[in-house]
Amino acid sequence: MSRPSAPRAEARVDLEAIRSNVAALDAHAGRACVMAVVKADGYGHGMVPTARAAVAGGATWLGVATIDEALALRAAGLTARILAWMVTPGEQWDRAITADVDVSVNSVWGIREVSAAALLADRPARVHLKVDSGLGRAGATQADWPDLVDAALKAEANGYLRLTGVWSHFAYADEPGHPTVAAQVQVFRDAVALAERHGARPEVRHLANSAATFTLPEAHFDLVRAGIAVYGLSPVPQRHEPAELGLRPAMTLAARLMLVKRVPSGYGVSYAHEYLTTAETSLGLVPLGFADGIPRDATNIGPVLVGGRRRTIAGRVCMDQFMLDLGDDPVVAGDEVLVFGPGDSGEPSAEDWARALGTISYEVVSRVGPRVARTYREIIQT
């Protein structure tokens, strides 16, 4: 009988951490409910396992970008309320309606399309209207908001939809005290008030993201939408480490050295020899590359832990691999390389990678590719 092979690389996902992170968010949300955002394959952690862990932690809503993502959750047996917000013209809205998935509408054309789909499905759609309170992305402008509300209420009166939510999204919630934050809260309050004056009775009003859940209680309303904090990463990294917010990073990205070899001083490493050894040394080959989510921009700057020491990627990151300068340390093929994790063993965090690359931790975890096996630590039963 052959033994199961060890993976060349794996993303170890701690579902107990996700459950605990959502419980921490729920505690900070006060009377508001929690929506766990599990789009983009659960920010790279695995959408369905993440969703189940989030529900176990107290989330009563799940947030996704696309209808396909919402349907995958329903197919997996998730019964929580689900909101899908990236719906384009010509979409098969009836699939969402039939599966009892809420959808977001930004403009009057969306009301027309979702109403037609409701006729096909022979049941009303559950619709959240989005107002652009200052992010400058999706959502109706303040000028267009009255027309969108009136179109939705007319469709509701005709039995085509139920106006279940009004929502918006912050631009600067990760910078508490930024003047746009208070301004957006007021725009949102005004938009809700206008909708209610016109006759809307939404089930939920929601504005707060992960950052605002921790820093802005006045923005909690009926529901908070938590994304990055679900996965244990700080939404305000310039102010708080995850542990200070009661969070624990859920993903550890690891690989095993594929090759270790001695090379002389002045040895060129990887494409274009952007790294040259400065003395006789050992080079280690790590079987992860930009096809697996290690950015090419990590060339000569990406931090890892191997042999109990922090090291930096040596030379250009390739599609399937990168190199490390291991010096004279007694490291051998098969030894583990920790790319990032919660830091228990001294490994870099996803936030360390984000700072090195000039990006955000969201991108670091979300880009881990499908060739990397996901393994899961299950929820602790108490």
Catalogue the active-site residues: 39, 271
**DSSP letters along 276-314, please?**
E-SSSEEEEEES--TTTT--GGGTTT-EEEETTEEEEEE
8 Å CB contact between 127 and 105: yes
Strands 303-306 and 268-269, bridge-based pairing:
unpaired
Q: Give the CA dihedral 80, 81, 83, 84, nearest 10 degrees.
A: 50
Among 280, 298, 300, 301, residue whose Cα is nearest residue 289 = 298
| C-alpha torsion 272→274→279→280, nearest 10 | -40
Q: Which residue has the tokens 């859940």?
A: 213
Q: Where are the alpha helices (DSSP H) in the chain?
A: 15-28, 39-43, 47-56, 67-75, 93-98, 108-121, 145-157, 179-197, 210-215, 350-357, 361-366
What the block records as the tokens of 164 is 């279940």
